[in-house]
Amino acid sequence: MHHKEILKHYGIRAQKSLGQNFLVNDEILEAIADSIDITGQDILEIGPGYGALTEKILARKPRSLTLVELDKQMVYILNSRIHEREIVIPKETTFRIIEGDVLQYVPPLTLSPSEEREIYSVIANIPYYITSPILFRFLHELESKPNEMVILMQKEVGDKICRKKWYPHSYLSLALEFSCESIEEVCLVAKENFIPAPKIDSSVLYFQRRAEYNRINAKDFLRITSAWFSAPRKKVISNLASTLHISKESLASDFQALGLLDTVRAEEINLITWNKIIEKIEKKWEL
């Protein structure tokens, strides 16, 4: 059955409270599935809905596919479609559906044959409102982090992350740059490709996590950058002084040593310079 037929057959109506919009363009679904290596890999799909993207993932025969879906109706429909053989699970794929909130889900620690690192990837066509929480959870909070993520999100958010159209640095873009080796745009998705159509266009971004992630350094980085962006119209030195309880005079001296004006604002500073600032002041702030 085609997407509209599936929606009609199962009486599927998007729930506004869950931010549901169903992507119904098969070319775009294929592009998302092709954006990472799926065959023989462990995949976590967030918010599968009735399984439009799930079908594309399974066609590429992953080693395992775990679906995390909050909507009970969608879980029922997924199971029904599997029972009716509308969704076919390859014999080589370990498959399971978890009903629940992905922000409470903890992936099991899956190790490579060399027992050196986690090996799983995340694919998500998710409601706009949980984009940032999901990115922070999987790229910063979880112990078992994915190697790669492919996320469909609001185009404006994607543009800010990739810093298109001269968007300045933001807390989100810096946090992702800190944790990711690369961030790339896979494709743009016009609003007409959804049922119901949202008011804005979307983009699909690919995230490759850095192989090395120091939890302590990350904690310090996030704490400091959060303080820097807590009041974006204020000077960085003022934000840091009040949040970290360090004198403005001491911070001004550190900034001068790095060739930064004391009037600099958070959005003007790149990742390399942020790290240099942290190295300068990390022994001064109150833990």
Q: What's residue 225's pLDDT?
A: 86
Q: In angstroms, what CA-CA distances link 260 with 85, 126, 136, 251, 255?
A: 63, 40, 29, 11, 5
**Are residues 174 and 180 in contact, defined by beta-carbon separation less than 8 angstroms?**
no
**CA 225, chain centre distance (Å):** 19
Helix (H) or strand (E) holding 129: none
User: Exposed/middle/buried for 189, CB within 10 Å: 0-12, 13-18, 19+?
Assistant: buried
- Of 22, 19, 27, 28, nearest in space to 7 by CA: 22
Give the per-residue pLDDT at 118.
57
The CA distance from 210 to 213, in Å, is 7
User: What secondary structure letter does DSSP report for 139?
Assistant: I
**Which amino acid is present at 92?**
E
What is the DSSP-derived secondary structure letter of residue 130?
Answer: G
List CB contacts of 186: < 8 A, sequence separation 6 or more. Answer: 31, 32, 35, 150, 203, 204, 205, 206
Q: CA 196: distance to chain centroid?
A: 23
> Measured in whole angstroms, how far is the alpha carbon of residue 276 from the centre of its chain?
26
pTM over 0.75: yes
Domains and CATH numbers, the chain: 3-209 (3.40.50.150), 215-281 (1.10.8.100)
Please report, to the nearest 10 degrees, the dihedral formed by the alpha carbons of residues 134, 69, 198, 167 taken in order: 10
Q: How far is CA 23 from CA 19, 39, 54, 190, in A?
A: 13, 23, 12, 10
Q: Which of 149, 164, 163, 154 is nearest to 131 (CA)?
A: 154
DSSP state of 118: B
Strand 42-46 to 121-125 pairing:
parallel
pLDDT of 109 reads 61
| The pLDDT of residue 77 | 96
3-state secondary structure at position 64? strand
Per run of 10 residues, the mean pLDDT along the chain (length 287 residues) is: 87 80 94 96 95 97 95 95 96 95 84 56 89 95 93 94 83 94 96 93 96 86 83 76 83 89 84 87 63
Q: What number of other Cβ atoms are within 10 A of residue 214's Cβ?
A: 10
Q: What is the pLDDT of residue 114?
A: 46
Distance CA 114, CA 178 (A): 26
Question: Which residues, listed in sequence order, are joined to residue 69 by a DSSP beta bridge?
Answer: 99
pLDDT of residue 113: 47
